[in-house]
Structure 1
């Protein structure tokens, strides 16, 4: 489950019309959401608040060994109109599940971002500031995010920790996204790392597509995407490269939604393939196969997620007293408009070829959102439960 500050950052992305899924780093986001979930350890509680439409705070307290915690603050120049109460937040917004990619949208024009008053330009670019201090280790995290233009974004993240080399590290990331393709350039002070990655989407270009063009009913609603990344560390004189491809159905697809990916790291000899399918409205299945051509080692992981929905509040399941006395059932009246069903929670499970099992239950009880999970190693007969924990979140 996303922490409150991560949830607010996603709200900022949506408010500023930035598509975080159109990136090479998000190529396997669907498989990671179903298979690579983190199991909580110990007990952890987080209290957060969106004090104003531009300012948010969060306090975290945990008990893993020694008592630890953190407090964080976030400022956004753009007004964030969103639900902040934990009792009202849509769980689909904070629980990472099957990721359905969306239709590519046409980027805003630069002229649409300009504001003029008395012959002077008064518009300013959206920006976000975030800081978090961990205690008792006094580790500091910082983030600066700025929208440069409708197609560009700058992201600076830093970590200050005396245990790290040079006392910390800074990562600079420049993102460029026009819908049809996207590129990212990055530099990290840790090892002098320089990298670039990109993603290309096959099919129509949203910048040239005719909005009045009617679509055929039998059109194939899917998208092929391919990308690559290259990076080089100036200090340790080492580099890397990877390639990847993805096919995913679009929301307009009338069949079963599915996502398939293949990634290749030629230097390390790793080949990874994933296949995820939304078998029903509330059930998603996913499999992953990793193979190394040098060592011939392979890893197989299977996982699923099952969403539990609440019954509609306006539906009556019990008979009235008058009907009970008459020994008959109430007349069933079908509603003319379907009532949306609220999410009650989701159960996630995964297992690999070594019989290591991960279980996770996420949901909401009254005003608290919770995450309960456990890691089980079936080959360890003496101590199969490797981890067990719970996280509680409250926000206002």
Structure 2
């Protein structure tokens, strides 16, 4: 489950019309959500608040080994309107699950962002500042996020920690999203790492969609899926080493009448790693995923399967009758997932290592309960057990 500050950052992306899914880094987001979820260790409690539409705070304490905690502050120049109270928020905003990719959105025009007053341009570029200090380790994480234009974003993340080489590291990303394709340019002070990656979406170009003439064939054969291809290349100037990878993805779109599904294939030719995934939304409450990894240098392989099962609230006949009797002016359009109360996740690999996770909400409290199990280690089957509790106002 995302913590409060991650949810706030996603609210900033949503308010500034930035598509997190249209990047090479998100190519395998669905498979990672279903197979790579983290199981908590020990007990952790987080209390957060959106004190104002532009300012948020969060405090966390845990007992993994020793008692530790963190204090976080966040400022956004763009007012955030998403519901962030733990009793009101949409669980799909904080629980990573099967991702339904939407139709590509046409980027905003530059002049849409202009604000003029008395003949002078007074608009400012939307900015987000975030800082988090971990105690007693005295580690500091910082994030600077700035929307340079409707299609460009600058992201600077920094970590200050005495245990790291040179006392910390800074990662800079210049991201571009033109709808049809996206690019990212990276620089990290760790080994002076330089990188570039991009993603291209085949099919219609959202920038020219409404103005292009629609043929009879397009009307008869609507597009139900999207095929994407991407690659990344990086090189460390100090350690004289680099890497390259490429990937493909096909996913169904909302107008697909059958089961939604996503297929990906990624290849790292230098390391010899090949990975394929298949994820399917088998029903309104069930999603399944499988991943097969193979190395054609060592001939080693790995298999993982996982699933998620959403739990919905069951209304009694009396509650149903009361809802039907409400005045018309009080009615609203209810989203299909408004009655979701929690989710159960499970994964297993060929070595019988199992991960279990139960996430949901009780009253005004968000909870995450999880365990890691290794069936081959009879003397210590449970590798980790933990629970995380979140409350936000």
CA distance in 2, matches of 1:210, 1:366: 45
CA distance in 2, matches of 1:393, 1:121: 42
Cα displacement (A) at 1:217: 5.7
1:148 corresponds to: 148
Cα displacement (A) at 1:318: 11
2:267 corresponds to: 264
Kindly report which structure 2 residues correspond to 1:275-290, keeping only aligned pairs within 5 A, or say none: 275-290=278-293
CA distance in 2, matches of 1:220, 1:164: 49
CA distance in 2, matches of 1:230, 1:58: 36
Kindly report which structure 2 residues correspond to 1:60-75, keeping only aligned pairs within 5 A, or say none: 60-75=60-75
- 1:254–1:217 Cα change, 3 Å: farther
Kindly report which structure 2 residues correspond to 1:13-24, keeping only aligned pairs within 5 A, or say none: 13-24=13-24
Q: How big is the alpha-carbon RMSD for the aligned residues of Structure 1 and Structure 2? A: 1.8
TM-score by length of 1: 0.93
Greater displacement, 86-95 / 25-34: 86-95
2:224 corresponds to: 221
1:326 corresponds to: none
SS of the counterpart of 2:63? strand
CA distance in 2, matches of 1:143, 1:7: 14
SS of the counterpart of 1:30? helix
1:119 corresponds to: 119
Q: Could you say which structure has the larger radius of gyration?
A: 1
1:308 to 293, 306, 311: 311
SS of the counterpart of 1:7? helix
Q: Does 1:242 align with 2:245?
A: yes
Count of residues in Structure 1 that have an aligned counterpart in Structure 2: 380
Q: Does 1:393 align with 2:390?
A: yes
1:97 corresponds to: 97
Cα displacement (A) at 1:116: 1.4
- 1:14–1:317 Cα change, 3 Å: closer
CA distance in 1, matches of 2:67, 2:358: 24
SS of the counterpart of 1:305? strand
Cα displacement (A) at 1:317: 7.9
CA distance in 2, matches of 1:337, 1:13: 26
2:370 to 373, 377, 385: 373
CA distance in 2, matches of 1:154, 1:317: 49
CA distance in 2, matches of 1:317, 1:78: 39
Q: Does 1:166 align with 2:166?
A: yes
1:384 to 354, 375, 381: 381
1:29 corresponds to: 29
SS of the counterpart of 1:10? helix
Provide Cα deviations, 1:141-160, integer angstroms capped at 9, x if missing partner.
Answer: 00000000000000000000
Cα displacement (A) at 1:234: 0.4
Gaps of 5+ in 1: 320-335
Gaps of 5+ in 2: 322-330
Runs of 4+ displaced beyond 6 Å: none
- 1:146–1:388 Cα change, 3 Å: same
CA distance in 1, matches of 2:266, 2:290: 14
SS of the counterpart of 1:60? strand
CA distance in 2, matches of 1:301, 1:163: 34
2:326 corresponds to: none
Provide Cα deviations, 1:136-195, integer angstroms capped at 9, x if missing partner.
Answer: 000000000000000000000000011111110001100001000000000000000000
